[in-house]
Amino acid sequence: MPDALIRGVTLRYAVFGDAGPWIALTPGSRRGHEELVPMAEALASRGNRVLLHDRRNCGASEVSIAGEGSENEIWADDLRELARLVGAGRMWVGGSSSGARLAILFALRHAAALEGLLLWRVTGGEHAAQKLAKRYYSDFAEAARAGGMAAVAETEHFLACIAARPANRDVLLGMDPQHFVAVMERWHDAFIRDANMPAIGATEEQLRAIAVPACIIAGNDIVHTPMTARRVAGLIPGAELHDDLVPKRTEDSLLVEWDRAEWRAAEPRLIEHFATMVAHGAKKETT
């Protein structure tokens, strides 16, 4: 799979399909794009072009602890530049969990390049913000304070980044630990600041201003609550909500962690919903 130099950082990416509407999808957490390959292949087989990539600090892309704004904003801006490089104009942008946050921020920052949103397992609420801010930022800052960048390089996440791109070890070890901690703290604070928004990273006013169709698939765990999906779907004027792809649960019986097996089983229906919305959008453009 090819690499591209995007805003000074090398990103690993892949394109599936050679004609049709463009779709960009991003996985959750800091995982690489490989888990979305079956979905990309299925959507490409229906006449779409699908762009997948590993975000900076994820998968086989380069580690870069720098940049203005939150990490999710940086990721959204990276995706816009990567889209330009591969020749994608307006795109359907989607993702799961942190990928959904990236997609929403893409909508807010690059509206002219957006055809629509394809979101599943949307993140919101105080519990989600506190839990994820610790996992994504505080834990790494603590490692740097305790053992410098050598300790950061030995964390599970960055060990995986190094395994996927060995040059990432030298990048990490060459960083100033104080700079690393300062960026982690800034990204952590930005994440926590958004805790009470309908979805982490977007206000009610911003969601109401999104003027494109959106397909939203509700989660059923305490980080990706059905209430969050309902709130977001109720605010985006062109949104449709599907809350039955995984077993429905009441707010007091949500899973502690999302069930990967449930979502794998639901993937064919998820693909069907996304493909139908993209095809309907393409048909509207030609009529």
The tens digit of pLDDT for each residue in 80-94 reads 999 999 999 999 999
The crossing angle, in degrees rounded to 10, of helices 139-153 and 177-193 is 150
Question: What does the pLDDT average to over 34-54?
Answer: 98
Question: What does the pLDDT average to over 243-247?
Answer: 96
Confidence tier at 284 by pLDDT (50, 70, 90): low
Report the mean per-residue pLDDT for the chain. 95
Q: Is the pLDDT assigned to residue 95 strictly greater than 70?
A: yes
- Convert the pLDDT of each residue in 54-71 to its tens digit: 999 999 999 999 888 899
Structural domain boundaries in the chain: 3-124+198-286, 130-191
Residue 94 in tokens: 């989607």
Residue 202 contacts residue 193 (beta carbons within 8 Å) = no
Question: What does the pLDDT average to over 172-197?
Answer: 94
Q: Residue 282: what pLDDT?
A: 66
Q: Which residue has the higher pLDDT, 238 or 286?
A: 238
CATH annotation of 3-124+198-286: 3.40.50.1820
Percentage of the chain beyond pLDDT 90 is: 90
Q: Residue 82: what pLDDT?
A: 98
Task: Identify the residue whose tokens are 């060995």.
Answer: 166
Q: Is the pLDDT assigned to residue 286 strictly greater than 60?
A: no
Confidence tier at 285 by pLDDT (50, 70, 90): low
- DSSP string for 72-105: HHHHHHHHHHHHHHHT--SEEEEEETHHHHHHHH
CA distances from residue 92 to 123, 163, 208, 249, 281 in whole angstroms, order as listed:
19, 31, 18, 29, 10
Alpha helices in the chain, H assignment, sequence order: 37-44, 71-86, 98-109, 126-133, 139-153, 156-164, 167-173, 177-193, 204-208, 226-235, 260-286
Q: Which residue has the higher pLDDT, 200 or 11?
A: 11
* SS3 label, residue 246: coil
- DSSP string for 182-222: HHHHHHHHHHHHTTTSSBTTB-HHHHHT--S-EEEE---BS
Question: Phi and psi of 50, rounded to 5°?
Answer: -120, 125
- Convert the pLDDT of each residue in 105-130 to its tens digit: 999 999 999 999 999 999 988 889 99
Question: What does the pLDDT average to over 228-253?
Answer: 96
Task: Identify the residue whose tokens are 């040059």.
Answer: 167
In the beta sheet, which residues pair with residue 120? Answer: 96, 217
Percentage of the chain beyond pLDDT 70 is: 98
Q: Residue 220: what pLDDT?
A: 96
What's this model's pTM, rounded to 2 decimal places?
0.95
- Convert the pLDDT of each residue in 196-235 to its tens digit: 899 988 999 999 999 999 999 999 999 999 999 999 999 9
Dihedral, 67, 70, 76, 80 alpha carbons, nearest 10: -30
